[in-house]
Amino acid sequence: MRKMLLVGCAVLTLVGVSAATVSQTPRNETFRMVELFGDVLALTEQAYVVPVDNKKLIEAALAGMMTALDPHSNYLPPSGYGDLRERTEGQYSGVGLTITSEGGLVKIISPMDDGPAARAGVQAGDVIQSINGQNAAGLTVTQVSEKLRGAIGTSVDVTFLRDGEDPLEVTLTREVIKVESVTGRVEGDFGYLRIATFNENTGRELTETIARLKRTNPALKGYVLDLRNNGGGLLTAAIDVSDAFLERGEIVSQRGRKPDQIERYAARPGDLTGGLPVVVLINYGSASASEIVAGALKDQERATLVGLTSFGKGSVQTVIPLRGGADGALSITTARYFTPSGRSIQKIGIEPDLEVARSAAEARIVSRSSFIYSEAAYATALDASIGAERRGAHTPYEAPGEDFDEATDYQLQRAFDVLRAGGQLSRMAPPPNGVIVTLPEGAAGAVTAAAPAN
């Protein structure tokens, strides 16, 4: 069965394909360029100042060829391919980071919940400046991954850069990262569901977690589904999660280069929550598979979205093993995906129904959108195919004041407020005193409960 991993840096489809489609470049020109490559390799081997590793050079050339296409197409050497497979199985050794590269910099898509990096304060959008004192600029995702991984219990010194702050220098101890995809708890009348990643276990874990919460409180009145800083995962898992909250209707479609390359995925009868109100929390660290779930539940009017506009990765990558994986694999973009309403979110993201920043500092970052880490920040990103653009710099609709205790999760508080209003924004209680509230352009009165308390 085909499986797709939709993350910010790679997507996995385990298929028995060993050859790529020949490009549309005239064959004579293609062969001439291949011959040129061989000439350059031979000259480099003969003339470079020190002996060279041809295998290393060829792997670098393959990586460069793929990344010239878009940020998410990659050549994975055998070790990188093995790492990717381990991640989809939900357990690996490392420091707990999902990373990607852009413009010679390696950036954090999301830290894994309760992993070494997350505990050290690493955040989505941070840039890796150095590893063990060596500059990380110009390194590939695979090279950085190899430096961050190692024997359990060993340490690695990493320096991270963050907008407007001093470099963060931390020592991370490597450990087994056993990703608990789904966690949950009961908070009063409501269930809280956290999905950290989408792997092979997510659908089963979600079903079990919802059943456990129901046993804990059979009178639950609604659920919060937290997808913040979830960088993605298996397409099949995203479909299973969406299906858990839907009775019917399309979940997502993907469309390739040719008009007939369309696949649609629909929900099956059986809403595990019994139709109770659902609020989905998203932010700019919510990517790919997270956006499939958020887009499906929003378009099917099954959930209210609270938080910040998502990352905006609406492309699908297929990983094609080379010689059964012995020579690694190609991760190549093969399609865009679309929400049930037919929207492509590529470079745009999914906007929440109620825009809420988690802190005043986060609100300032949104007000300077050039510092927002998103798909739109990539110079080589695919366009949206629909001519739309991501919303630029603006003051978020709502954010806590400067003196708000950041240990309190303000976005989660507002999600519970939506549930207390039965999922209806117009019936919500006003936000707490001291919050910043700014109506979006042309939306005055659209969310009547957003006026600050007197």
Q: Is residue 215 part of a domain?
A: yes
Per the CB < 8 A criterion, the answer to whether 243 and 267 are in contact is yes
For residue 14, pLDDT beyond 60: no
Coil, strand or helix: which one is 159?
A: strand
CATH of the domain at 241: 3.90.226.10
If asked whether residues 224 and 152 sit together in one domain, one would say no
How many Cβ atoms sit within 10 Å of the Cβ of residue 407?
5
Mean pLDDT computed over every residue of the chain: 84
Report which of residues 296 and 92 the model is more confident about.
296
Task: Answer whether residue 366 is part of any domain.
Answer: yes
Is the CB of residue 232 less than 8 Å from the CB of residue 4?
A: no
Are 216 and 160 in a shared domain? no
Cβ(172)–Cβ(120) below 8 Å: yes
pLDDT band of 443, cuts 50, 70, 90? very low
Last residue of a domain, which of 178, 203, 223? 178
Is residue 12 within 8 Å of 3, Cβ to Cβ? Answer: yes
- Letter for the amino acid at 46? Q
Taking 90 as the threshold, does the pLDDT of residue 373 lie above it?
no
Q: 3-class SS at 142?
A: helix
How many structural domains is the chain composed of? 2
58: three-class secondary structure by DSSP: helix
Residue 447 reports pLDDT greater than 60: no
In a domain, 50, yes or no: no
Convert the pLDDT of each residue in 269-287 to its tens digit.
Answer: 999 999 999 999 999 889 9
Q: Which amino acid is at 389?
A: E
23 in any annotated domain: no
Regarding whether 138 and 235 lie in a shared domain, the answer is no
349 found inside a domain: yes
Partners of residue 157 on adjacent β-strands: 171
414 shares a domain with 321: yes
Per DSSP, what are the bridge partners of residue 319?
Answer: 331
C-alpha to C-alpha distance for 88 and 353, rounded to whole angstroms: 31
Q: Are residues 309 and 335 in the same domain?
A: yes
For residue 309, is pLDDT > 90?
yes
Q: What is the CATH number of the domain that holds 149?
A: 2.30.42.10
Q: Report the C-alpha gap between 181 and 184 in whole angstroms.
A: 10
Q: Within this chain, do residues 197 and 133 fall inside the same structural domain, yes or no?
A: no
Maximum C-alpha span of the chain: 78
Task: Identify whether residues 295 and 426 lie together within a single domain.
Answer: yes
Residue 361: its pLDDT value, please?
84
Task: Note the pLDDT of residue 393.
Answer: 84
Determine the structural domain holding residue 129 and report its residue range: 92-178
Q: Provide the whole-model pTM.
A: 0.79
> 365 and 393 in contact (C-beta within 8 Å)?
no
pLDDT for 450 equals 33
- Report whether pLDDT(147) > 50: yes
Q: How many residues does the chain have?
A: 454
Single-letter residue type at 181: S
Same domain, 395 and 295: yes
- Residue 8 CA to residue 125 CA, distance in Å, equals 12
Q: Which residues are catalytic?
A: 288, 299, 313
Does 32 reside within a domain?
A: no
**HSE of 302 in the Cβ direction (CA atoms, 13 Å)?**
28
Residue-level pLDDT at 99: 82
Would you say 202 and 194 are in contact if contact means Cβ atoms under 8 Å apart?
A: no
* Co-location of 282 and 389 in the same domain: yes
SS (H, E, C) 212-265: HHHHHCCCCCEEEEECCCCCEEEHHHHHHHHHHCCCCCEEEEEECCCCCCEEEE
Q: Is the pLDDT of residue 432 over 70?
A: yes
The domain boundary, picked from 138, 161, 178, lies at 178
Containing 119, the helix (H) or strand (E) segment is helix 116-119
Q: Tell me: pLDDT of 407 over 90.
A: no
Residue-level pLDDT at 438: 60
216 and 278 inside one domain: yes
Q: Is residue 11 part of a domain?
A: no
Q: Are 155 and 276 in a shared domain?
A: no
Percent of the chain with pLDDT over 90: 49
Residue after which a domain boundary falls, among 116, 146, 178: 178
7 pairs with which residues across the strands?
232
Q: Is residue 375 part of a domain?
A: yes
Q: What are the pLDDT digits (tens) for 160-198?
A: 998 778 899 999 999 987 778 999 999 999 999 999 989
